[in-house]
Amino acid sequence: MESSHLVFDVEQAGCESCAARIQGVVTQLAPVAEVVIDADADEATVTLEAGAVATEDDLNRVLAEASDGSGHVYRVRPGSLRLAR
């Protein structure tokens, strides 16, 4: 089985400190191999280990954790979650 790549837009993630917060919590979704945040595009690419699954609800749950104390409300922009190869 090969790994899968989830790509999605993250609302209110437009700076490097926001990107770092988001990256820190998204890696808690086991088993995640890699998280890349493009703060300029408000986009995240999450590489899951082979066979792993993460839903939009899973992502929004950890993004809500990252929002605590940030002054922002991070979430997956509705309709933006897609599977990339």
> Mean pLDDT of successive 10-residue segments in the chain (85 residues)?
85 85 84 86 87 90 93 93 84
Specify the DSSP element, H or E, that contains 34.
strand 32-38
Q: What are phi and psi of 78, to 5 degrees?
A: -50, 135
The pLDDT score that the predictor gives to residue 54 is 87
The pLDDT score that the predictor gives to residue 51 is 83
With H, G, I as helix, E, B as strand and everything else as coil, classify residue 12.
coil
- Fold type of domain 4-76: Alpha-Beta Plaits (3.30.70)
What are the boundaries of each domain within the chain?
A: 4-76
The pLDDT score that the predictor gives to residue 1 is 67
